Amino acid sequence: MKILGYVYRVVSNFAFLALVYYSLNFMEKYQHRAIIAILVLVYATMRAVSALRSFYFFQKIERLELEARRLAGVAGEAGAAAARRQVVSEVATLRRDGEIKSYVDLFFLAMVVLLCVAKIVTN
C-alpha cells in the first residue's frame, strides 16, 4: 500500500509536468506562453510553500515521537508500554512516508519551475 502511495504521487506529479510542458510548447505567441508560465510558477510556488510547511509539521511530530518514547520508557507498564510503542512506531512510519512524498513533490515542482523559466527566457 505504501508503494502505491509513492507511485500515485510520482504519476500525478509527472502528469502535471507533462501538462505544463505540452501547454507551453503548443503556445505560438510569446505573450501567451509567458502568461501561462507565470501562472504555473505562481501555482508551483504555492505548492512548494505548502510542502515546505509540511516539513515544519513533520519536525514537530518527530519531537512528539521522541517525547512519547521517553514517557513510555519512564512509565514502565508492560501492556500499555507495548501499545504505546506500536502507536509511536506507526506514527514514525507515517511521518517518514509523508516526508518522502513531500520530497517527490518538491522535485517535480523544481522541474516545473525550470521548465517555466526556460520558456519565459527563451523566445
pLDDT digits (tens, 9 = 90+) for 23-79: 999 988 989 999 999 999 999 999 999 999 999 999 999 888 888 777 777 766 666
How many domains, in total, are found in the chain? 1
Domain range holding 12? Answer: 2-121
Three-state DSSP state, 29: coil
**Cell digits of residue 109:** 515542482
Q: What is the DSSP letter of 76?
A: -
Cβ–Cβ < 8 Å for 38, 117 = no
Cβ–Cβ < 8 Å for 104, 9 = yes
Residue pointed to by grid coordinates 513533490: 105
Q: Indicate if the alpha-carbon torsion angle 90, 94, 95, 96 is positive or negative.
A: positive
The tens digit of pLDDT for each residue in 21-36 reads 999 999 889 899 999 9
Q: Considering the entire predicted model, what is its pTM?
A: 0.84
